[in-house]
Structure 1
Amino acid sequence: MKEVVAVRHVAFEDLGSFEDVLADRGIKVTYLEAGRDELFERVEQDPPHLLVILGGPVGAYDTAAYPFLAEEMALIRARLAREQPLLGVCLGAQLIAAALGARVYPAGVKEIGWGPIELSAAGNASPLAEIATPVLHWHGDTFDLPAGAVRLASTTACRNQAFAVGRQVLGLQFHPEATGAAIESWLIGHACEITGTPGVSVNDIRADTLEYASQLEDQSRKFFGRWLDGASA
């Protein structure tokens, strides 16, 4: 049986709607907990079909405070060297960018809540074309486009919202995996950040979730299925 290993940093930022696609295909999902599990040893001893690095509230540059981030980048470099399928979401995308030598840094403004993305020509030709509804954004850091990567999506606040390196490596700054059923956990887990960010409110995020989440879940399943097919080819 094929296996997907997902490195998780906080309990509520999981594979979300992507997990439905994997279940439908009979693909086993294993979560490894950053800071608790032996990431490099587990993944390198039994390499999964796909490695996913999920989001979290720390910075990719915070390796002194959070040494497991260096272990994650070592994992990423090993996957890149072997040209094996790799997906990064939010922090995961930042870690892939850093592992490829790009700078990761505070964006100067936090992008939190539901909003559109603008696809590049390459993005419109990619599986991301399946996503037409506003998506969930939740980040304060950004990164330079890594050498050899192709920009797929942008927003006004964040030029590099998605990038690809070939067919097997994808970085997503936004959260297409987010589901409406999980959003209350996000609102609780990020309560301090919401309170400290001007113009962002729990009620606004909750209302936008009711409007957009169901559409995003359907579109994201199609996107992820298409990307899996291409990455596995």
Structure 2
Amino acid sequence: MRIHVLQHVAYEGLGSIARWAEKKGYPLSYTRFFEDDGLPDHESYDLLLILGGPMSANDDYNVSWLQTEKSFISEAIEQGKMVMGICLGAQLIARVLGARVYRNTHREIGWFPITTTPNAMVLGLPQQFQAFHWHGDTYDLPDGAIAIGKSEGCANQGFIYQDRVIGLQFHLETTPSAAKELVDACAHEIDDGPHTQPAEAMLVDLELFAEANQRMELIMGYMADQLETNWYM
């Protein structure tokens, strides 16, 4: 499975997904927008993976490449590609599918539980689990998508569209070092809201990261299985 990554800022990378891809022998390629990289031909990859970032999915006139990126994501979905978006990536997918993206009532930053719908079972997610969050925006569920979960601070924590497109508002790929990078870059976003943790509380429990990374592997496994199924159809 050839994976192409859309990365928006240097401090939000693949985290544990990079280890998983290396273990499986899956090649990775990148468009790093912060380095002015170009976008590939759609035939050059099997899974498009869209990472997070501090910008809004609505920032078309403030972020020079955002309209081009959204057109690329839309083309990938239309061409039947496997697509996964994390945080901003999920919001970008929701936006190109016609849903509204907007400011959430409160920021959600830190470790908070997600309660899943029965739809999340195909991803290997339990009825409730802890996930790492760092977002201020949210989105409406796109037409034709099925919801996979919610938290106390955010009604839409993820969705599946046509079995091959996944949006995850939360982070399961985050490693302790990746979380530290995010804290160092975006500490100014940590407020005293009801769904925000202090930085030290986010970083202290290494077991939370290990469990989250294991769940991320299950979701990536689902994407690989879907691709293999499509090859033989």
Q: Give 1:211 shift.
A: 4.2
2:10 aligned with 1:14, yes or no? no
Instruction: Indicate the SS of the match to 1:134.
Output: strand
2:179 maps to which residue? 183
Q: 2:30 — aligned with what? A: 31
| Stretches of structure 1 lacking an aligned partner (at least 5 in a row) | none
| TM-score, normalised via structure 1 length | 0.90
The aligned residue for residue 2 of structure 2 is 3
- Report what 1:168 is aligned to: 164
Asked if 1:148 corresponds to 2:140, the answer is no
Does residue 1:84 correspond to 2:87, yes or no? no
Do the aligned partners of residues 232 and 157 (structure 1) sit closer, same or farther apart at CA in structure 2, a change above 3 Å counting? farther
Separation of aligned partners in 1, 2:156 and 2:129:
18
Larger displacement relative to structure 2 (57-66 or 3-12): 3-12
The 3-state SS of whatever aligns with 2:156 is coil
Amino acid at match of 1:71: T
Q: Which runs of 5+ in 2 are unaligned?
A: none
Q: 1:134 aligns with which of 127, 130, 134?
A: 130
Secondary structure at 1:92's aligned position in 2?
Answer: helix
Cα drift, residue 131 of structure 1: 8.6
Aligned equivalent of 2:104: 107
- Structure 1 equivalent of residue 56 of structure 2: 59
State the alpha-carbon separation in 1 of the partners of residues 69 and 124 from structure 2: 25
Offset, 1:111: 0.3
**Separation in structure 1 between the aligned mates of residue 215 and residue 4 of structure 2, nearest angstrom:** 23
Aligned pair partner of 1:192 in 180, 183, 188: 188
- TM-score when normalising by structure 2: 0.90
| Change in 2 beyond 3 A, CA 1:123/1:67 | same
Aligned counterpart for 2:226 among listed residues 217, 223, 230: 230
Number of matched residues? 227
* Contact persistence 1:131–1:219 (CA under 8 A): no
Alpha-carbon contact 2:82-2:223 (below 8 Å) kept: no
Q: Given that residues 131 and 216 in structure 1 are in contact (C-alpha distance below 8 angstroms), is that contact kept between their aligned partners in structure 2?
A: no
Is 1:151–1:163's contact at 8 Å kept on the other side of the alignment? yes
- Deviation sequence 1:152-197 (CA, Å, 0-9, x none): 1111221111101122100000011111232211110112112x45
1:30 Cα offset (Å): 1.3
Relative to total residues, which structure has the larger strand share, 1 or 2?
2
Which consecutive segments of 4 or more residues in structure 1 shift more than 6 A? Answer: none
Q: Counterparts of 1:230 and 1:103 in 2: how far apart (Å)?
A: 28
Whether the 8 Å CA contact 1:6–1:31 is kept in 2: the answer is yes
Q: Note closer, same or farther for the CA distance 1:35–1:214 as it changes in structure 2 (3 Å cut).
A: closer
C-alpha distance in 1 between matches for 2:219 and 2:164: 14
**What letter matches 1:185 in structure 2?**
E
Q: Percent identity?
A: 33
Question: Counterparts of 2:127 and 2:223 in 1: how far apart (Å)?
Answer: 12
